[in-house]
Amino acid sequence: MSMDEAVLAELDRRLAPVDAARLAAYPGERPARQPLHTCYVPADAVVPGLAGAWGSAALAALDEHGLPDLGLDPALVEHVLPRVRRKLAAEPIEDLRVDAEDGYRGAADAEDDDVRRAAATVAADRAAGSAPPSLGIRAKSLEEPTRRRGVRSLDLFLSAFGTESGRHSSASGTESGIVVTLPKVTDVEQVRAFLPVLDALEAAHGVALALELQVETPQAVLGPDGVATLARMVHAAGPRLTGLHYGTYDYSAALGIAAAHQSSDHPAADFAKQLMQVAVAGTGARAVDGSTNVLPVGPREHVHEAWRLHAGLVRRALERGFYQGWDLHPAQLVTRYVATYAFFRAALPSAAGRLAAYLDRTGAGILDEPATARALASVVVRGLDCGAVDIDEVGVAGGPDRTQLNTLVGRRPGGS
């Protein structure tokens, strides 16, 4: 080699800080399981056994109305329906968010009691093993009119949650983490200012807190200096941040889009969500799709219309790499799982075959690189996580075992 060692040493010296900064800012994808959805329930509507009640209501809607043509492969839908029914009976909600913000309809002087009651209820459910795997609270925004009210609700919620959890501290498998969703963020300084508040709440209540930011304003996407505010917010929040959640209707309304055309598949929504994807890529946080307010309620024709719309939006989001969205009504769980299960099951044969060829270094008509292999493995692992496929089916399709899959996606041994 003709290159002088001193030149290479100087190259290493100059780029070492760059390497360290990049690794700190982009540690890689979060290895833990990502929920398929977040279900928002107003604080005044939280009742014991909420997840089971939502699952029962979803099954009742399916039994009453039957499933219409959702624009999916009918044979595949028929195949996944028994699996969806089992999911709705066993784990209907993967992520619950107690809503003390826009969804809350209680009186102002009742919010303290409603928040405390909701916290005690979900803590008791968690101790009993009937709560969703992930849960948290959405308080009010940090804008001046709601700032102190929002922090007060968080404090009361965590206090009541901790008290109730303490009563069940001997319960096996009880987890302590809570997700805090911060809505209507408009400025990076709001994120920076909120972190010490979360530190203080953790110290006071002994509960580990994760953070989500809701992208509901144009200012959260693009700042007055022309810089992508989203990216600055993500890196200001650091490792505490688990996701950016798109707020379909607040964001659309802020752009002046007429109510009849506000939807998560509007071009304006795609623009914001694509920036969200870029901002979180490699950071460990996730970009999360929004909701539809067209609910499957009322006569059968309206329920079917709402299910077709929801299934199409879920399928569209999955195809674009958004693996989590919002659900606002129990009956939306039907199409959430039907569309998602169909997506992952349809992807399995090709993904398993390509992974086998990649690992065996054999030619299979497609030359996959490590990044593509990771994406293929991620689709299979997500299908396993949510119950769309079983590990024995992956093996039958020719795919690798769970240990190899976890290695490919960067998940720690035993991670879930």
* β-bridge partners, 136: 97, 179
pLDDT tens per residue across span 380-400? 999 999 999 999 999 999 999
pLDDT bin (cut points 50, 70, 90) of residue 171 is: very low
Mean of pLDDT values over 117-131: 96
pLDDT tens per residue across span 217-231? 999 999 999 999 999
Q: Is the pLDDT of residue 414 over 60?
A: no
pLDDT tens per residue across span 63-110? 999 999 999 999 999 999 999 999 999 999 999 999 999 999 988 899
For the chain, give the mean pLDDT. Answer: 93
pLDDT at 313 (0 to 100):
98
Torsion sign, CA atoms 293, 295, 299, 304: positive
pLDDT at 367 (0 to 100):
65
CA distances in angstroms from 272 to 33, 51, 215, 243, 303, listed in the order given: 24, 31, 8, 14, 29
Whether residue 355 contacts residue 408, with contact meaning beta carbons closer than 8 Å, is answered with: yes
pLDDT at 172 (0 to 100):
37
pLDDT at 136 (0 to 100):
97
pLDDT at 360 (0 to 100):
84
pLDDT at 411 (0 to 100):
73
Q: Report all structural domains of the chain as residue ranges with CATH numbers, in order of start.
A: 29-344 (3.20.20.60), 347-409 (no CATH)
3-class SS at 202?
helix
Q: Look up the pTM and report it.
A: 0.92
Distance (Å, whole) CA 67 – CA 387: 20
Q: Return the minimum-mean-pLDDT range out of 47-61, 125-139, 274-288, 352-366.
A: 352-366
pLDDT at 204 (0 to 100):
95
3-class SS at 240?
helix
pLDDT bin (cut points 50, 70, 90) of residue 412 is: low
**Quick one: what percent of the chain has pLDDT higher than 70?**
95
What 3 state SS string does 148-183 have?
HHHHHHHHHHHHHHHHHHHHCCCCCCCCCCEEEEEC
pLDDT at 71 (0 to 100):
94
Q: Is the pLDDT of residue 143 over 80?
A: yes
Whether residue 273 contacts residue 246, with contact meaning beta carbons closer than 8 Å, is answered with: yes
Distance (Å, whole) CA 132 – CA 239: 23
Rg (CA), the chain: 22
The pair of structure tokens assigned to 231 is 């990216």
- Residue 146: name the closest of 183, 192, 196 by CA: 183
pLDDT at 106 (0 to 100):
87
Mean of pLDDT values over 151-160: 97
